Structure 1
Amino acid sequence: MRAVLQRVKSARVEVDGNVVGSIGHGLLVFVGIGADDSKKDIDYIVNKTINLRIFGDEKSKFNLSLLDIGGEVLLVSQFTLFGDCRKGRRPSFSGAA
């Protein structure tokens, strides 16, 4: 499992001009699930995401987690995180679930 986290003041996902998901202050998380991933991997990523101290405190020091700030999460499936470009010039996505 692979995840890319982005701190956001707000974020939204649109499909065909319709908003299908939106959040205020929090994390935009792009997640790729591999063919061999298990519930244990999901639990690890969730725990890491909500407890990672990447938000600034009153001294602008990275000291607060998503839970500490009461932030929101927007999760976006991103199978391209499993793109394998080691062979040839076209990525393979066979490792994605």
Structure 2
Amino acid sequence: MALWRLAPRTNTMWWCVEGKDPWQPPHDRVFGFVVRAADEEAARWLAHGAAGEENGAVHGVSPWLDGSYSTCEPIRDEGTAEVLLVNFRHSPW
């Protein structure tokens, strides 16, 4: 099995548009995953099952299952040491 990195697509016209962006407002939502799965489909379903309120936030869409809302890339074993995922959200309070 491979590791997969999933993240929201931020290069779209709906990004940060209230009512069109599943990650708005930016609380009680997951903004990234690293999962172990056999393939991309299985990785997306695992992320979907562990998601927050981004699931269904826009017309019942699951952004983790829909490639137009999120990326899902395999993480290769080769390469230099690196931080793979930091998902920090500043509190508005």
The structure with the largest alpha-carbon Rg is 1
Query: Structure 2-normalised TM-score?
Result: 0.34
> Which of the pair is proportionally richer in helix?
1
Query: Structure 1-normalised TM-score?
Result: 0.33
